[in-house]
Amino acid sequence: MPKAIKLSPGLIEAQQPVPAAATAARVLRGGAPKPEPTMPLQLRLPRSEVRQIKIAAAEREQTISQFMLACVHATMQNGKQS
């Protein structure tokens, strides 16, 4: 069982330090541009296609997100949007 302690005005008034993770986002210094907010795109693909995408991304030393973004850009440039 925990021991009881006497409360003193110093203990009551002492503030707990706020962890840095709980504070508001840091303001970028030096005039750096603010990063654009991102929203993940969620798709349901057949397992065979997912495997092919993973292999293609690994062969190009990219993440799956980077590979898919490159595919979208290539499709947009070629005008084959469907």
26 pLDDT band, cuts 50/70/90, is low
**What does the pLDDT read at residue 70?**
92
Residue with tokens 């997100």: 65
**Is 22 part of any domain?**
no
Residue 67 to residue 50: CA distance in whole angstroms: 12
Averaged pLDDT, 13-20:
67
68 domain-assigned? yes
Considering the domain boundaries, does residue 48 fall inside one? yes
Summarize pLDDT for 51-62 with one digit per residue, the tens: 999 999 999 999
Average pLDDT, the chain: 78
Look at the chain and report how many structural domains it folds into: 1
Instruction: Quote the domain boundaries for residue 68.
Output: 44-82
Question: Greatest CA separation found in the chain?
Answer: 75
Residue 26 within a domain: no
